[in-house]
Amino acid sequence: MGAQNGKDLLIKLDLTGDKQFGTIAGLRATRISFNAESVDVTSLESQGGWRELLAGAGVKTASISGSGVFRDADTDERARQIFFDGEIPDFQVVIPGFGIVEGPFQVTALEYAGNHNGEATYEMAMASAGALSFTAL
């Protein structure tokens, strides 16, 4: 995979519950990270005292975050609704030149900030809340 444009890494949310995804308005910086918990099965019989891990075990998680300029668009309103109603809708993350990750996420943080001589900004954080799918581009 060659160099990609950062603005093409998109976070989208299901606006209506029927898989109609819209890019979250105003985002300038986006990030997705994947984690897998390891399960240590090391014992006295482990060769040379080296740690052994159990394949396929442990909890897998993904987290999404983004920050940008507050625009009060439909997607901003939907993100607020999701947070305050405690919903867990589907999100999509489009990773340029790689693929699309889709699945349920919970909005775990929503922050707004602003200076008197600058624009209003916001930050969002989401945590995976179920199985995710991956579609290669």
Structure tokens at 7: 């603005």
Strands 99-114 and 133-136, sheet pairing: antiparallel
Q: What is the pLDDT of residue 128?
A: 97
Residue type, 46: S
Structure tokens at 108: 């775990």
Q: What residues make up the domain containing 77? A: 6-136
Measured CA to CA in angstroms, residue 30 lies from 116, 122, 136 at distances of 25, 12, 19
Q: Looking at the domain assignment, is residue 129 inside a domain?
A: yes
Q: Looking at the domain assignment, is residue 54 inside a domain?
A: yes
In sequence order, what E strands does 83-132 have?
A: 90-95, 99-114, 120-128
Q: In the chain, how many domains are there?
A: 1
Q: Looking at the domain assignment, is residue 72 inside a domain?
A: yes
Residue type, 101: V
Q: Looking at the domain assignment, is residue 45 inside a domain?
A: yes
Q: What is the pLDDT of residue 17?
A: 86
Distance CA(23)–CA(31), nearest Å, equals 14
Q: Looking at the domain assignment, is residue 56 inside a domain?
A: yes
Spell out the per-residue pLDDT of the chain, length 137, in tens.
677 777 888 999 998 889 989 998 888 999 999 999 999 999 999 999 999 999 999 999 999 999 999 777 788 888 889 999 999 999 999 999 999 999 999 999 999 999 999 988 999 999 999 999 999 98
Q: Looking at the domain assignment, is residue 1 inside a domain?
A: no
Q: In this structure, what CATH number is given to the domain that contains residue 43?
A: 2.30.110
Which residue stretches of 1-137 are H helix?
A: 74-85
Burial call 2-24: b when 16+ CB within 10 Å, e when fewer: eeeeeeebbbbbbeeeeeebeeb
Q: Looking at the domain assignment, is residue 46 inside a domain?
A: yes
Q: What is the pLDDT of residue 126?
A: 96
Q: What is the pLDDT of residue 15?
A: 87
Q: Looking at the domain assignment, is residue 48 inside a domain?
A: yes
